[in-house]
Structure 1
Amino acid sequence: MSEMSATISIPLVSVAFPVFNEAENLEMLHAEVTRALETTGLAFELIFVDNGSTDASLSIIKRLSETDPRVEFVSLSRNFGHQGALLAGISHAQGEAVITMDADLQHPSALLPEMVRLWQEGFEVVFTRKRRYPVHGMRLRQVKLFYWLMSKWSGLHLSFGQSDFRLLDRKVFEVFLRMPEARKFLRGLVEWVGFRQTGLEYDPLPRHAGESKFPFRALVSFAVDGIISFSLLPLRWSLGLGFIVASMSFVYGIAMVVMGLLNYAGMSVPLPPGWATLVVSILFLSGIQLIAIGMLGEYVGRIFEQTKGRPEFIVRAASVSEREPR
């Protein structure tokens, strides 16, 4: 009886992996993560979320689950994006803490014991930062611009190199699961919810196989989601720009009236040509209006998505049940 009680009292740690066409990486990922977590002395489960893969990823995951009872799988009905797959993994986690990491082997498994140790010391969020970014040139400048915009426009303090490689205590990720917000931006929410947090730095490893599933278009969409989720600054800038343009137009109109009156009084004051001035003014004001309407449309679009109440993901099959928040 005492041995059974001791076994039951061992905390369970869940590790969730979003997987999209990572068939060549899965077996090595399973071996490395298992080896790292076995050193902690804790019970653990590995949840592989197949995010609509078109290769043999799901078959390999099912084979791993047959040979290792600690492996669970969640198969989504289609690709719901990286954040959707992360939420699917978190919502199916049975542990007292969940670690999220990518399946491309760039997140070092050797860091897992240290993350678990910090959690056992009382930290409820253990996030990670890259010491260096595994890209160069234009792509690196794009990533830096993303973090700069997020920090300046959203009011959050996202440092350069933060990723979705993190540990969350159950009380933290249950807060996420209870949020009705659509298109959750997890990197921002992790800071926003608070709790006791600490960070670790790491050097990303080279991708073992395959290619990146995060092109520039996805980075732009990710940045827009983050800014709109946490900031009204674009709307306020649009309002401020409208006031500036209106003020300039007012001053310009007064100047034209004064110049006309001076000419009427007999003074020779050259008036600017009307056609070029008119065309430039119309194009400038039209551009400002379209930009403002586009910004407003992004916010209205998010409201529309929220009112539809569609789920963040749809499960086609799973070996583990979705756990309801406490």
Structure 2
Amino acid sequence: MQKTILTIAVPCFNEEEVFDQTMENLRTVLCDLMGENLISEQSQLLFIDDGSKDSTWEKIENATLFDPLVSGMKLSRNFGHQRALLAGLEEAVKFSDCVISIDADLQDDTGVIREFIIQYLQGNEIVYGVRSKRDTDTFFKRNTAQGFYRLMEKMGLSLVYNHADYRLLSKRAIEEMLRFKESNMFLRGVVPLLGFKSTKVYYERKARAAGESKYPFRKMIAFALDGITSFSVKPIRLITMLGFLFSVISVFAGIYALVQNFMGHTESGWTSLMISVWLLGGLMLMSIGLIGEYIGKIYEEVKQRPRYIIESNLCKKVGNKSKVHSR
């Protein structure tokens, strides 16, 4: 029986402070799995440098020279976490039976990777790493994250609760996912759409080992908005409903104004006028902005620009591709 060829794909952006620790940790995991005969000796780590400004790529490049288990890719500029991860998946699927994606900050528990492999060997095409609790998050981040999942559910998108991008995908799952051609691929939403047999592995997330978070509040908002507008038209329908509601209200307001005029109470109210102007003005600007988000996505899609550009590829591909098998 052929052993499973595993690639662990790790997107990196300015991770020089934590890279050495991350590489050593994941390398130990790989070696342990090989020692248990759970994966092939041709398995490897794949680090994807997403246009880092520090010495991250130099560290990756050096590691590929001296460690046969390490491969690397360098994107020509910063394309964003999701596209960097997609670049790694698209490259790794060429020579792997399954791929595990994990962030470079070591917050996700690498100890459950063994369970990922066991679940894969039991027939699961997708294995989600799911946080069992969010104690390490601040009160604000914890509640905004929960609000995000609830909002996405109301928008009609089924996400795996408390799951980020720590997951295992089989070769077949990745190949099918790559058939989705949208420019801005929201992986957390696309993967559940594949419909293959899946399971969850729960773990406790740790504090960041070193460095700073690459997802400040601004990027979190942009990420959430990207997810919503990529999978649902309900916000547009909400605007339509609000427009209808305010049209009805305006009819009653007009009737009220006429009645007041006939009764001789014609003095206009400054407060009510200002409230109406600001309320309607704010709603109109918000509506135009939301419609603009959808138009912007259409604009990006029709140009059909590449999702990423690879500047340097140091992947150590499996020599005999016939050894890579899928279910």
TM-score above 0.5: yes
Amino acid at match of 1:89: G
Equivalence for 1:313: 308
Contact 1:130 1:202 in 2 (8 A): yes
Residue 90 of structure 2 corresponds to residue 91 of structure 1: yes
Aligned-partner Cα distance in 2 for 1:38–1:283: 63
Distance 2:174 2:234 in 1: 28
What is the CA distance between 1:211 and its match in structure 2?
Answer: 1.4
How far does residue 260 in structure 1 lie from its aligned partner after superposition? 3.2
- Distance (whole Å) between structure 2 residues aligned to residue 52 and residue 256 of structure 1: 61
The residue that corresponds to 1:186 in the other structure is 187
Post-superposition CA distance 1:14-42 (Å, at most 9, x none): 11000112123222222222222233321
Q: Alignment partner of 1:178: what SS?
A: coil
Instruction: Give the TM-score normalised by structure 1.
Output: 0.89
Question: 1:183-206 CA deviation, whole Å, 9 max, x = no partner?
Answer: 111011111221111001111122
Aligned with 2:228: secondary structure? Answer: helix
The unaligned stretches of length 5 or more in structure 2 are 319-325
Range with bigger deviation, 199-208 or 38-47? 38-47
Answering whether residue 78 of structure 2 is matched by residue 79 of structure 1, we say: yes
1:236 and 1:153 map into 2 onto residues whose CA distance is 11
CA contact (8 A) 1:150 1:158 kept: no
**Of the candidates 289, 312, 318, which is equivalent to residue 294 of structure 1?**
289
Matched-pair contact (CA < 8 Å) for 1:13–1:45: yes
Change in Cα spacing, 1:35 to 1:243, as seen in structure 2 (3 Å) is same
CA 1:25 to 1:259, structure 2 compared with 1: closer, same or farther past 3 Å?
A: closer
Deviates more, 1:20-29 or 1:79-88: 20-29
1:16-31 to 2 correspondences below 5 Å? 16-31=9-24
| Runs (5+) with no aligned partner, structure 1 | 1-5, 264-268
Worse-matched range after superposition: 285-294 or 98-107? 285-294
The residue matched to 2:176 in structure 1 has which SS?
Answer: helix
Please name the residue that 2:227 is paired with: 226
Instruction: State the SS of the aligned residue for 2:48.
Output: strand
Is structure 2 residue 242 aligned with structure 1 residue 250? no
Aligned ranges 1:159-198 → 2 under 5 Å: 159=161, 161-198=162-199
1:274-299 deviations in whole A, cap 9, x for unaligned?
Answer: 55544443333222221111111110
Separation in structure 1 between the aligned mates of residue 316 and residue 229 of structure 2, nearest angstrom: 33
| Counterpart-to-counterpart distance in 2, 1:118 and 1:38 | 19
Matches within 5 A, 1:15-94: 15-40=8-33, 41=37, 42-43=39-40, 44-93=43-92, 94=95
Q: TM-score, normalised by structure 2?
A: 0.89
DSSP-derived class of the 1:252 partner: helix
CA distance in 2, matches of 1:10, 1:250: 71
Give 2:7's aligned amino acid: S
Question: What residue identity is the alignment partner of 2:123?
Answer: G
| C-alpha contact 2:30 2:44 (8 A) present in aligned 1 | no
CA spacing shift, 1:17–1:322, aligned 2, 3 Å: same
Cα distance, 1:247–1:203 mapped onto 2, change above 3 Å: same
Identity %: 35
What CA deviation, in whole Å up to 9, does each residue of 1:139-195 have, x standing for no partner?
Answer: 222222222222222431431x21100000111111222211111110111112211
Is the partner of 1:73 in helix, strand or coil?
strand
Conserved 8 A contact 1:127-1:199: yes
Q: Specify the code of the residue in structure 1 equivalent to 2:64.
A: S
- How many residues align? The count is 310
Aligned equivalent of 2:148: 146
Question: Following the alignment from structure 1 to structure 2, what is the Cα–Cα distance between the partners of residues 98 and 312?
Answer: 20
Once the two structures are superposed, residues 215-253 of structure 1 have per-residue CA deviations (whole angstroms, 9 ceiling, x without a partner) of 000100000011011111111111111011010001111
Would the aligned equivalents of 1:154 and 1:227 in 2 still touch at CA under 8 Å?
no
Q: What CA RMSD, in Å, does the superposition of the two structures yield over aligned residues?
A: 2.1
Equivalent residue of 1:220, what SS? helix
Structural mapping, 1:99-138, within 5 Å: 99-133=100-134, 134-138=136-140
Whether the 8 Å CA contact 2:125–2:169 is kept in 1: the answer is yes
- Paired residues of 1:126 and 1:199 also in contact (CA < 8 A): yes
